[in-house]
A and B are shown apart, each in its own frame.
Chain A
Amino acid sequence: MNSPKRTIIPFGPQHPVLPEPIHLDLVVEDEKVIEAIPSLGFIHRGLERLVEKRDFIDFVYVAERICGICSFIHGLTYCIAIEEIMQIEVPKRANYLRLIWSELSRIHSHLLWLGLMADGFGFEALFMHTWRLREKILDIIEETTGGRIIFGSAKIGGVRKDISSEKLAQILEKLKNYAQEIREITNVFINDSSVKHRLVGVGVLSKEDAYILGAVGPTLRASGVGLDTRKLGYAAYKEIDFEPIIETAGDSYSRCLVRIREIFQSIEIIKQAAGKIEPGAIEVKVTGTPNGEFFARTEQPRGEVIYYAKADGSRFLQRLRVRTPTFANVPAMVKLLPGCQLADVPILVLTIDPCISCTER
Chain B
Amino acid sequence: MKIFVMAKKVLTSLCARPATFRYPLVPKTYYKNTRGSITIDINRCIYCGMCQRKCPAQAILVTKADKEWKIDRLRCVSCGYCVELCPVKCLSMKNTYSASTQIREEEAFRRA
Contacts and interface: CB of A to CB of B under 8 A. Distances in A.
Contacts of B81: 58, 61
Contacts of A135: 19
A126 B3 contact: no
A187 interface: yes
Interface string A128-146: 0100100100000011111
B75 to A, nearest CB: 13
Interface residues of B, number: 22
Interface in A59-116: 61-62, 65
Given A54-B56, A61-B79, A142 B6 contact: no
A142 B80 CA distance: 14
A180 interface: no
Contacts, number: 58
Contact of A193 (B2, B54, B78): B2
Interface in A143-198: 143-147, 150, 152, 160-161, 184-185, 187-188, 191-194, 196
Contacts of A65: 77
A184 B56 contact: no
A146 B35 CA distance: 5
B93 to A, nearest CB: 8
Interface string A211-237: 000000000000000000000000000
A55 interface: yes
A58 B5 contact: no
Contact of A132 (B19, B35, B56): B19
Q: Is the interface of B mostly helix, strand, loop or mixed?
A: loop
Given A55-B54, A193-B2, A193-B3, A161 B9 contact: no
A125 interface: yes
Contact of A192 (B6, B34, B78, B84): B6
B10 interface: yes
B33 A188 contact: no
Contacts of A125: 6, 10
B31 A143 contact: yes
B88 interface: no
Contacts of A152: 35, 79-80
Contact of B33 (A61, A143, A185, A187): A143
A191 B5 contact: yes
B9 A142 contact: no
A125 B84 CA distance: 43
B36 to A, nearest CB: 9
Nearest to A145: B33
B5 A187 contact: yes
Given A62-B56, A65-B77, A147-B35, 10 more contacts: A54-B56, A135-B19, A142-B33, A143-B33, A146-B33, A147-B34, A184-B9, A188-B9, A191-B2, A192-B6
8 contacts: A58-B81, A62-B56, A145-B33, A147-B78, A187-B5, A193-B2, A194-B3, A196-B1
5 tightest A-B contacts by CB?
A: A61-B56, A146-B35, A146-B33, A193-B1, A192-B5
Interface of A: 54-55, 58, 61-62, 65, 125-126, 129, 132, 135, 142-147, 150, 152, 160-161, 184-185, 187-188, 191-194, 196
